[in-house]
Amino acid sequence: MTNATQSLVGKVAVVTGGAGGIGVATVEALAVAGAHVVLADIVDDTANEAAEKLAAQGLSVVGHSVDIASEASVERLVDFTVDTFGGIDVLDNNAALTATIRQDRDVVSMSVELWDQVLAVNLRGPMLLCKHTVPVMIERGGGSIINIASGQGLSGDRVMVAYGSSKGGLIALTRSVAAAYGADGIRCNAVAPGLVRTPALEADMPVPVQEMFQSANLIPRLGTPQDVSQLVAFLASPAASFITGQVLSVDGGFLAHLPTLSPLPPR
């Protein structure tokens, strides 16, 4: 039986958006499991600072800057990882554009510029990472790709049409990659978090709105970065060797029922 705490010894992982709340928790979870991890984020100083904090704990983590909407930048990240650690076994496509969420409303008010900006990061970025990572994984006999989608990609909403569409597209990309490269030993799965309590959430979402989401969860709390990162570490590990092409929700049961009925008392 695989020791979960050391299931990734000798493996090499890349985590995009690695300096954020879910990202840094994922980097730590993979490194604790024994992986060498490249923490990639759009700002070089931020990536290096976050990586240094984890390296100070004895974990094998290095930082690198990347703009995932740029193919040249993605190629540099892949080359850096191969040059530093010898290959890539795990890719966590975690980075996403969230700064535009307040302007991301409905279709009628959607600007083409905002739409293109969101999809360039949230969908083209993971595609580019897959494009340039899959060949490296095939050379090593396979690997695991985990795309961080969202509950917004599984259900419709009155707002965040660009974000939700990008995450729905990411789920389709997940299944396409799984279908195309399973025979090459590559597994590709998506994780769909619900509302996760991160510093960005605390800064941007009013408490009453957070409480509204929490009231609709079957597990009466909001998610934590660790709820997501532990699932990513599992999907990256040999323990998930027969799981591919799947979308796994980490949302406290938010989408498992009709939230409009959640205030009703239990039977």
Give 31: exposed, middle or buried? Use CB within 10 Å, 0-12, 13-18, 19+: buried
Does residue 181 carry a catalytic annotation? Answer: no
**242, amino acid identity:** F
Catalytic residue from among 163, 181, 234, 254: 163
Which residue in the block uniquely carries the two structure tokens 């900006």?
A: 117
CA distance 263 to 49: 44
Please say whether the beta carbons of 85 and 75 come within 8 A: no
- Cα separation, 248 vs 197, whole angstroms: 19
Q: Is 258 exposed, middle or buried (0-12, 13-18, 19+ CB in 10 A)?
A: exposed
**Could you tell me if 54 and 30 are in contact, meaning their C-beta atoms sit under 8 angstroms apart?**
no
Token pair of 147 as six digits: 């795309």
Q: Quick check: 42 and 66 in contact, CB under 8 A?
A: yes
**HSE toward the beta carbon, residue 216, CA cutoff 13 A:** 16
What is the residue type of 32? V
Radius of gyration of the CA atoms of the chain, in A? 18
Q: Which two tokens stand for residue 179?
A: 């279908």
Q: Which of 204, 263, 192, 178 is nearest to 232 (CA)?
A: 192
Identify the DSSP state of 185. Answer: T
Catalytically annotated residues: 163
